[in-house]
Structure 1
């Protein structure tokens, strides 16, 4: 590696000068010393790229010089030159960290140049490996720091989500609404909400944002904001304007399209009117269909509608049913389909109907019956909401 600085240490002036002359002719820079003590001083002052040192010298021999250099620098290549009769010294030098050794007399100086280049290349490789390891450690530490920040952000996001969800089941006259959400990640893309509209009606919905994790959880914040805005508008008008689930879905559809986030939502939303004893509901691409149970009579609630936030010309319709004196309405996100053990969709749907028919008409009972408490890692978020009147 031409241009490198070589420190040549030898008490034989003729040998030293012949080596220096050859190395200069090969493009190297050189420094000279006639013993180890002088060489050590030059090493400390000039920081050469390689040391070529005779072993047997007065004042300070090569082994002492090598030992001292290695205590101060483990990287600099150090080639020892030894007479043929002192091979035990060569072994000791290699043990102390010499890079290579040459036997006197050096008849072919090209062999010396080859050894020097090999030692310099090896030293450069070691330096690059150290830099790479340092860079890798820095990257790992940076990733750990980023992961810690991300976990802190996730905790903060989780706390925001938890604060947005209803704090407790809604008890409205003889109606009760409860929910449970099991996220596949720390943050969930499923969301539920329910709230009172006036003295004779309340609203509820279950939403499933496409995907899951932080980006989907962000959309749940938007949904909560939209529902609050609509509720404020409703109350600012004195509650005179009749709220329809289809109008809410149209509003959310337009709002999501304007954000340009590329996220869509499947939604089932409804409004219970206790004066008329009716449920008005609307579908926004929701699947599986909600299950309504009246005693042993259990069936899926019919309806259809496009996902919300995908199509500008999407149209959402309302359906109205009379509410029986005793019933339960179970709404599940499609994550439940992923964890049911049955093979076909038809078998999974029949199983859901049978579980509800057997009396799993509360959040606690349904969660236990479906084995959701034992799930370690769900492939998708699972949300459930149950509206019941007993």
Structure 2
């Protein structure tokens, strides 16, 4: 659609010639012989551009320009006036005039060029303004979405924390843990369970990925292990006492869920009366550290990750523990904050820190410097199962 241009000049000959020329250039033309007449025209419908003489009877062109800047700041105005009035040029440009042309304009193509440039600049300004408004609206929506997501994550984090176990005392065995997530929701999970008066089950798991989807798997894990515990208490199944079967059950349920998630896991059952620990490993790394008889060492064992392969098989390993021991379990996030070059060096440093801490969770947490990291690259979970005095 053709742009509407208002020509304001008290000289009818000049005004008519400009109107006729621009009309031939396919502009929709309006005209006014004074500033007040122009204001009356603009009040009815604002044009796309104005070409304005300065020296007119009644209201001066500068005064008109001031009113236009006040009421229509985006309206492009091209000022046309006689030579030798430098103060008017400066004032007009300061008031935002798009251009200043000197009368007489011998070649009206100069005016056409100035008009096209002013209209192009006006279009660009409108597009930029619309784009800014769109960005502001998008940012408001994004902020609202982020606020809702943050609230959801906080609610999910609260629910996840409630699923974690309290410190557990069972006869002379004491269990506790610490967990620091890299995001609001954690993919690391652990639990301690009194299966019966003589047996304690515990595990640590590290779900692939982060955030809500990984946290959902921890809910599934909690639900499954407690289901196995209820089955044992009802006498319908003793799978909970068999670590290899537990990992097999979790593997099958994760695959059936089609969540495209897997986890690594260490699961153990300690018989208090005999001191025998039966455990199974599902690709978990680093392996737990056992501190007893004046030394610290990693447990042995291997196994496939849980929830990744249908044909995965797991085996149970039995080990007789000393009367006094400290068992420390870790998620692999602990290795991320150990400042060593190679993985072997990281494992050696982890073993040294566990030994130095004597298996005491708070001491280890301090030595490892976990609390000193405001943000950690991966979830960090540490759990301990202790008996006696070292």
What's the TM-score once normalised by structure 2's chain length?
A: 0.94
- Cα deviation 1:99-156 (Å, max 9, x = unaligned): 1111111211111111111111111111112222222222232332222222222211
Partner of 2:366: 368
Taking a change above 3 Å as real, the CA distance of residues 238 and 255 of structure 1, as seen in their structure-2 partners, is closer
Q: Give the whole-Å Cα distance in 2 for the aligned partners of 1:46 and 1:343.
A: 73
More off after superposition, 171-180 vs 216-225:
216-225
Partner of 2:99: 100
Partner of 1:285: 283
Q: Offset of 1:185 from its aligned partner?
A: 2.1
Q: Offset of 1:376 from its aligned partner?
A: 2.7
Q: Give the whole-Å Cα distance in 1 for the aligned partners of 2:237 and 2:254.
A: 25
Match of 2:319 among 313, 318, 321: 321
Q: Offset of 1:389 from its aligned partner?
A: 0.7
- Cα deviation 1:67-106 (Å, max 9, x = unaligned): 1111101101011110124332222211222111111112
What aligned pairs does 1:82-161 form with structure 2 within 5 A after superposition? 82-161=81-160
Partner of 1:174: 172
Instruction: Verify: 1:206 aligned to 2:204, yes or no.
Output: yes
Q: Give the whole-Å Cα distance in 1 for the aligned partners of 2:232 and 2:84.
A: 103
Partner of 1:62: 61
More off after superposition, 237-246 vs 327-336:
237-246
Taking a change above 3 Å as real, the CA distance of residues 127 and 291 of structure 1, as seen in their structure-2 partners, is same
Instruction: Verify: 1:352 aligned to 2:358, yes or no.
Output: no
Partner of 2:185: 187
Partner of 2:341: 343
Q: Give the whole-Å Cα distance in 1 for the aligned partners of 2:206 and 2:199.
A: 24
Question: Would you say the 8 A contact 1:5–1:28 is kept in 2?
Answer: yes
Taking a change above 3 Å as real, the CA distance of residues 20 and 136 of structure 1, as seen in their structure-2 partners, is same
More off after superposition, 235-244 vs 186-195:
235-244
Q: Give the whole-Å Cα distance in 2 for the aligned partners of 1:79 and 1:241.
A: 88
Q: Offset of 1:37 from its aligned partner?
A: 0.2
Taking a change above 3 Å as real, the CA distance of residues 278 and 93 of structure 1, as seen in their structure-2 partners, is same
Q: Offset of 1:61 from its aligned partner?
A: 2.4
Q: Give the whole-Å Cα distance in 1 for the aligned partners of 2:238 and 2:304.
A: 29
Q: Give the whole-Å Cα distance in 1 for the aligned partners of 2:60 and 2:355.
A: 95
Question: Would you say the 8 A contact 2:326–2:358 is kept in 1?
Answer: no
* Alignment coverage as a number of residue pairs: 388
Partner of 1:257: 255
- Cα deviation 1:38-69 (Å, max 9, x = unaligned): 10010111111001111111232211211111
Taking a change above 3 Å as real, the CA distance of residues 100 and 242 of structure 1, as seen in their structure-2 partners, is closer
Q: Give the whole-Å Cα distance in 1 for the aligned partners of 2:143 and 2:131.
A: 18
Gap regions ≥5 residues in structure 1: none
Q: Offset of 1:341 from its aligned partner?
A: 2.5
Q: Give the whole-Å Cα distance in 2 for the aligned partners of 1:303 and 1:250.
A: 16
- Cα deviation 1:197-243 (Å, max 9, x = unaligned): 12221211000111223332222122112222222333333676663
What's the TM-score once normalised by structure 1's chain length?
A: 0.94
Q: Give the whole-Å Cα distance in 2 for the aligned partners of 1:377 and 1:215.
A: 20
Gap regions ≥5 residues in structure 2: none
Partner of 1:32: 31
Question: Would you say the 8 A contact 2:153–2:184 is kept in 1?
Answer: yes
Partner of 1:44: 43
Taking a change above 3 Å as real, the CA distance of residues 8 and 327 of structure 1, as seen in their structure-2 partners, is same
Question: Would you say the 8 A contact 1:360–1:369 is kept in 2?
Answer: no
